[in-house]
Amino acid sequence: MLNWEDPFTAAAPAAKAHEAPQAADVASEAEAGSAGSHAPEPVLNVEPVNPDDKRVVNGMTDINQLAPFKYPWAWDYFLNANKNHWTPLDINMSQDVHDYHHNLTLEERHVYTNVLSYLTTSDILAMRNIGLAVMEKMTAPELQIYQARQVYEESLHTWTYQHCIETIGLDQSEIYNRYRVVPAINNKIQIANRRLDTVLRSDINLHNRDDLENFLMAYIFFAGIFEGCWFYNGFSPIFALQRRGLMKGTAEQLQYIMRDEVLHASFGIRVAKQIMIEENITPDPKAMKDMWEEAEAAEQGYANYILRDPILGYSAQDHSEQFRYIANRRANKLGLEEPYPGAENALPWLDEQANLRKEKNFFETRVTEYQTGGALNWD
């Protein structure tokens, strides 16, 4: 049974309210006062925070005062995020165990394990980036509130992959170490580390234009490419299996994750755009072009590795073309030039497949009962 008593009460009983302070106590307080620890002067006539004074970065308003909002949309993201509740334990994985060991081909197992290996490493990185590099630099609390939720969601995603890996009975040390030994996975992680590590410091001065530009580029990479393209695209090989009736439990887990990730990417893009407006800064087009090219080459290498032998209904070409198509969507949202004009939607089924509708749930689980996010905007 829980003990609700204050544990400190028993160890050091507080003086009773009616007991007058002893003369010795009063004397020692007076001594402390004369040593310099003055009580703070009461502050009078302090105006509430004016929302117009808030800034995404470099703001000077009180970070502990939530409202009035300057960015009410950020609060809406937080409310929307809270409509997508699940834990990996809510989803039945028993058919996946059977599928993996009896129904998947060797090529499909290769796809499945490498996708999990890439995603789980990436989600740890995402959690650290948003929590340690981005959130602390925000100067409006309504932005930090959603990012705090995002940190939690990234850790929930890591739990979900771990649950799949454990349930299927995969070799954990081998799967988790794969990003170090498979060059095509390692390359994506190294790019992310290089682009994000430069802002994973607390001594950055965002009043300095070079530091600010570097921070903006890192945030655009994180929201627009790392989450917006690589993650978004990263789930589709498993959805292709799901379409054929395979690994449906894992796919359902990924549908929940994807729902979070769509919000993460669009929130980050919105924050990046707001920084551009408030700080009067635009990314260098040449630097953006280089960023897209590097990301595309890495994604192509990754697709060629995980799909070196094509599986039914999904190919490396599909994966790479879809990356380019999604990249254009993200660039449009950022108000930047499309990197791949004319790229085609190679997976027209993806948006619908990714959408988690109650009637599409394959298992009657507890999730559907408290799933209330039917009205989320998916773009």
Query: Residues in the site for Fe ion, rule: CB under 5 A?
Result: 123, 126, 154, 157, 227, 261, 264
State in angstroms the smallest separation of the CB of 356 from Fe ion. Answer: 15
State in angstroms the smallest separation of the CB of 324 from Fe ion. Answer: 21
Rounded to whole angstroms, how far apart are CA atoms 365 and 248? 13
State in angstroms the smallest separation of the CB of 90 from Fe ion. Answer: 17
Nearer to Fe ion, 126 or 311 (CB): 126
Q: 3-class DSSP state for residue 193? A: helix
Nearer to Fe ion, 157 or 259 (CB): 157
State in angstroms the smallest separation of the CB of 193 from Fe ion. Answer: 16
**Separation of CA 49 from chain center:** 29
Rounded to whole angstroms, how far apart are CA atoms 237 and 309? 13
State in angstroms the smallest separation of the CB of 127 from Fe ion. Answer: 8
Q: Read out DSSP for 125-152?
A: HHHHIIIIIIGGG---HHHHHHHHHHHH
Which residues pair with residue 314 across a beta bridge? 311
State in angstroms the smallest separation of the CB of 105 from Fe ion. Answer: 28
Q: Are 172 and 165 contacting, i.e. CB atoms less than 8 angstroms apart?
A: yes
Nearer to Fe ion, 123 or 299 (CB): 123
State in angstroms the smallest separation of the CB of 297 from Fe ion. Answer: 23
State in angstroms the smallest separation of the CB of 82 from Fe ion. Answer: 16
Q: What is the DSSP letter of 42?
A: P
Nearer to Fe ion, 123 or 279 (CB): 123
State in angstroms the smallest separation of the CB of 218 from Fe ion. Answer: 15
Alpha carbons within 13 A on the beta-carbon side of 248: 13
Rounded to whole angstroms, how far apart are CA atoms 273 and 114? 34
CB count within 10 Å of CB 247 equals 27
Q: Are 130 and 233 contacting, i.e. CB atoms less than 8 angstroms apart?
A: no
Rounded to whole angstroms, how far apart are CA atoms 358 and 107? 31
Instruction: Sort residue 313 into left (φ over 0), alpha (ψ -120 to 50) or beta.
Output: left
Nearer to Fe ion, 61 or 122 (CB): 122
CB count within 10 Å of CB 19 equals 8
Nearer to Fe ion, 54 or 157 (CB): 157
Question: CA separation (Å) from 166 to 53, 113, 153, 159?
Answer: 49, 12, 20, 10
Nearer to Fe ion, 99 or 261 (CB): 261
Rounded to whole angstroms, how far apart are CA atoms 293 and 314? 23
**Separation of CA 148 from chain center:** 10
